[in-house]
Structure 1
Amino acid sequence: MASFDETFNSLRHRFEENKQPIPPVTLGAISKNGSFRYTKAFEKESDDAESNGVHWLASSTKLVTTIAVMQCVERGLLNLNDDIAKVLPEWKDPKILTGFNEENEALFRPATKAITLRQLLTHSSGMAYTFMDPLLTRHEELQGKPLPGPPTSVAEKFPHHFLVFEPGERWMYSPGIDWAGVLVERITSMKLGEYMQRHIFDVVSANDATFHPDQREETRARKAKVWERVGERLQEQKQPYWPDRVEADFGGGGLFATVDDLLKIYQGVLTGELLRPESVKEMFQPQLETTTGLDPAEYSLPSRNAIWNTVPDDVPVSFGIGGLINLTAVPKRRGVNSLTWSGMPNCYWWIDLSNGVAGVYLSQLVPTGDEKAIELLTEFEKFVYSSLDKS
């Protein structure tokens, strides 16, 4: 098999000359039938590191939660077009934040539509992360500081049980998949991590994947360090964004895993080991009523990198179930309707159903959407597809 080492070392040298060094990073890719498999950890001092480091996945967790939800759909426990309030009464008769009066009191109006599970999974429900919407940002500022310590539930972490637009009206990144994880817990009477262990991790032998590495001594010992880009250097982050111990299983961002775990899960999607073919086909189809909100010109470069990762600006996109999809093929790289997403510490993945291949980029670098990470990921993606062509 061809080596990616020469390309990586060339990029590393150029980035260091530009005073933008690369932190430790682990790369992986696998084909549907397993004839192609690549994993490699690149450290700062050595490229011979083991590739079994345990990484916080942040929002790369969302795909795994989506798989759990789709399994429940297959079993008839859920329906993509049902009102989520059937299981999540917190979202019955949702209201929409419209602004504030002169006394800084929030103003609301009733939503005209219920929220469906499909909208929850595609960030088109009307929910939003606080940093995505100025009205939510203002609302949080008026509420004051949150309680100290890590949140103990999804409802505590995301206490705003209201929307900022009508369900289906546009795309906006949201904690919807955290709520989808709660939905799985309620219909199965299992914690989300317990469900995933039984129905996902054990099925594909993803042995290190967990919401709670603090409960596994051997796994905890292999946790990757978190790095922060500060000017022209990297420094270890002493207080990572995600606390070591979290009580709840957050389906939108709480998983830890290795590159090997993730490749097994992605291959399980490609082969149908985790989901039926009709479920996989549905996930890789455009789901949005409108792509309003998915214009790269509306976002800063880091946000654009986090959302689109290596998909060029001129490639039309939509959202599937579990990630962004490119509506046309990217030459020499991913095929049409590939699924992709990222996680805060510059974690990225893609699954290409048409070409039967998946890839992952794991690091623990903040801030998110690092430009050098995207350059490296792009070159790795080219390497994967050229290797497939040769094989």
Structure 2
Amino acid sequence: MNASGLSTARLGRLREVLTGHVARGEVPGLVALVARRGEAYVEAIGTTEAEGGGGPMRGDAIFRIASVSKPVTAAAAMILVEECRLRLDDPVDELLPELADREVLRRPDGPLDDAVPAHRPITLRDLLTFRMGFGAVLAPPGTYPIQRAMDEAGLTPGPEAVPVGPDEWLARLGDLPLVHQPGEKWMYHTGSDVLGVLMARATGRPLAEFLKERFFEPLGMADTAFHLPAGKLDRLPAAYRPDPGTGRLVRIDDPSRTRWARPPAFPSAGGGLVSTADDLLAFCTMLLNKGRYGGERILSRPAVEVMTTDQLTEEQKAENAVFFGGNSGWGFGVNVVTRRDELAAVPGRFGWNGGSGTSAYIDPAEGLIGILLTQRALTAPTPPVLFRDFWTCAYQAIDD
């Protein structure tokens, strides 16, 4: 055991288990990081490509972090709350008039014109907690009229880039009814993307500029952005998804012609960032330290505490058990563990996973940070075996 309270021998087990997943071809490569008490253990395993090309995975590889973007942008939004430029319970109508005077479906499976007026406006709190009344619909694609309308408008949550700018995207959203009344139910994803538009309008600046100046630069997150300059593209691994029939990895993004080589039309606060293990360690360390990083206070302790507290009632999350596993809830942009039922399920632990194959969680009780970055897309809301094994190995290494 060293000063971190992590067993060196048991950290070796972490490498052995993760190497096994790579050797079996489940992922081409990965970067794994476990940090405690100021010491970080990092493993870069495998290669950057699955087809035999590329090179060894690098510790400074830049990954598409997908929904791990959500905690990052939610934390940045708390800067504007602390400055009283945004308020949790104020309606967003003034800055987002496209979302004023909403209509709400009588039934999620009903026709679009069978709607009633919203009981109240959408608030910033609704966006942060995913209770705005709109988001991913958990039914087979095309089952309900609202799903078909979302598909046609380009509003269905997914890995594809949004082809229009923020104003057009929000106008399309404003043309559709909400699925639930504001504050009534948790619905995944869309609240984060609306949050990004709100932050840009509140600051009068593009979202990327605000995040870089007020959040990424103070944290030293030099490789976190919505796109990469040409000089960094060699650090971006190829991205894959498993073929549903064969399980073989199919390349879905090539570094030589990646869309991350240029600024996106729509900077997605819900899933558009790229980042590294080191950058995410800085972000997670700030949250673990209750808002302080390197002697500088980024957020207040109360801001971090409210952000990382479960905000949902059982009724609000009842239809989304697949996301919460019976032992967690949702704060502001983060999943929050509420019940201990496995090694890594420590009450108060918070973070999230990304559909591109990424995971980042912070455990205040154990003082532990874990980050796993892969380039294999997830195929379900429940974490894959690789993720579960990573977290088991991280927690079994605790030796005090």
User: TM-score w.r.t. structure 2 length?
Assistant: 0.81
**In the alignment, is the contact (CA less than 8 A) between 1:150 and 1:243 conserved in 2?**
no
**1:92 and 2:100 aligned:** yes
CA distance in 1, matches of 2:106, 2:254: 36
Deviations 1:349-382 (A, max 9, x none): 21222222221221222353387x6222222222
What is the match of residue 336 of structure 2? 325
Report if the CA contact (8 A) 1:88-1:183 is conserved: yes
8 Å CA contact 2:155–2:173 kept in 1: the answer is no
Aligned mates of 1:356, 1:139 — CA distance in 2: 45
Counterpart amino acid of 2:393? F
Q: How many residues align?
A: 365
Whether the aligned pair in 2 keeps the contact of 1:294 and 1:317 (CA below 8 Å) is: no
For 2:235, the aligned partner's letter is: R
**Structure 1 residues 361 and 47: alpha-carbon distance in aligned structure 2, compared to 1, 3 A threshold:** farther
The answer to whether the Cα contact below 8 Å between 2:240 and 2:377 also exists between their aligned partners in 1 is: yes
Helix, strand or coil at the partner of 1:355? coil
Helix, strand or coil at the partner of 1:281: helix
CA distance in 1, matches of 2:82, 2:252: 42
Q: By how many angstroms is 1:99 displaced?
A: 6.8
Q: In structure 2, the residue corresponding to 1:228 is in which secondary structure?
A: strand
Return the alpha-carbon distance in structure 2 between the equivalents of residues 116 and 289 of structure 1. Answer: 17
Say whether residues 1:29 and 2:12 are aligned partners: no
Listed as ranges, the matches of 1:98-117 within 5 Å are: 98=106, 106-117=113-124
CA distance in 2, matches of 1:101, 1:294: 17
| Residue 380 of structure 1, aligned match among 369, 379, 390 | 390
**Aligned pair in 2 of structure 1 residues 101, 248: CA closer, same or farther (>3 Å)?**
closer
Aligned partners of 1:180, 1:42: CA distance in 2, in Å?
A: 35
Letter in 2 for 1:197: K
| Alignment gaps of 5+ in structure 2 | 1-7, 293-297
Asked if structure 1 preserves the Cα contact closer than 8 Å seen for 2:349 and 2:361, the reply is yes
- Mean CA deviation greater in 241-250 or 179-188: 241-250
In the alignment, is the contact (CA less than 8 A) between 2:350 and 2:362 conserved in 1?
A: yes
- 2:282 is matched with which residue: 264, 267, 271? 264
Q: Secondary structure at the match of 1:86?
A: coil
Distance 1:352 1:41, change over 3 A: same
Give the distance between the partners of 1:100 and 1:350, measured in 2 at CA.
33
Deviation at 1:330, TM superposition (A): 4.3
Matched-pair contact (CA < 8 Å) for 2:22–2:29: no
Task: Return the offset for 1:70.
Answer: 0.7
Contact 1:99 1:106 in 2 (8 A): no
Give 1:9 shift: 3.1
Q: How does 1:168-247 map to 2 (within 5 A)?
A: 168-213=183-228, 216-230=229-243, 231-237=246-252, 243-244=259-260, 245=262, 246-247=264-265
How many Å separate the matches in 2 of 1:47 and 1:138? 42
- Counterpart CA distance in 2 for 1:258 and 1:60 is 11
* Structure 2 residue identity aligned to 1:221: D
Distance 2:154 2:259 in 1: 21
8 Å contact kept, 1:41–1:47? no
Question: Structure 1 residue 278 and structure 2 residue 278: aligned?
Answer: no
Q: 1:374 to 1:204 in 2, by over 3 A?
A: same
Given residue 69 of structure 1, which amino acid in structure 2 is its aligned partner?
A
My pick for the range that moved more, 258-267 or 81-90, is 81-90
1:300 corresponding residue in structure 2: none
1:55–1:363: 8 Å Cα contact kept in structure 2?
Answer: yes
Q: Give 1:156's aligned residue.
A: 168
Whole-Å separation in 2 of the counterparts to 1:119 and 1:327: 21
The answer to whether structure 1 residue 129 and structure 2 residue 129 are counterparts is no
**Partners of 1:90 and 1:145 in 2: how far apart?**
15
Residue 61 of structure 1 is matched in structure 2 by: 69
- Asked if the contact 1:227/1:235 (under 8 Å) is kept, the reply is yes
Partners of 2:15 and 2:205 in 1: CA distance: 44
Give 1:237 deviation, angstroms.
Answer: 2.4
State the alpha-carbon separation in 2 of the partners of residues 149 and 351 from structure 1: 29
Identity %: 26
Partner of 1:349: 360
Residue of structure 1 equivalent to 2:271: 253
Change (3 A) 1:62 1:296: closer
Q: 2:125 aligns with which of 118, 123, 126?
A: 118
Q: Note if contact 1:26-1:39 (Cα within 8 Å) is conserved in structure 2.
A: yes
Residue 38 (structure 1) aligned with residue 34 (structure 2): no
In 1: Cα distance, 2:155 partner to 2:203 partner: 34
TM-score (norm 1): 0.83
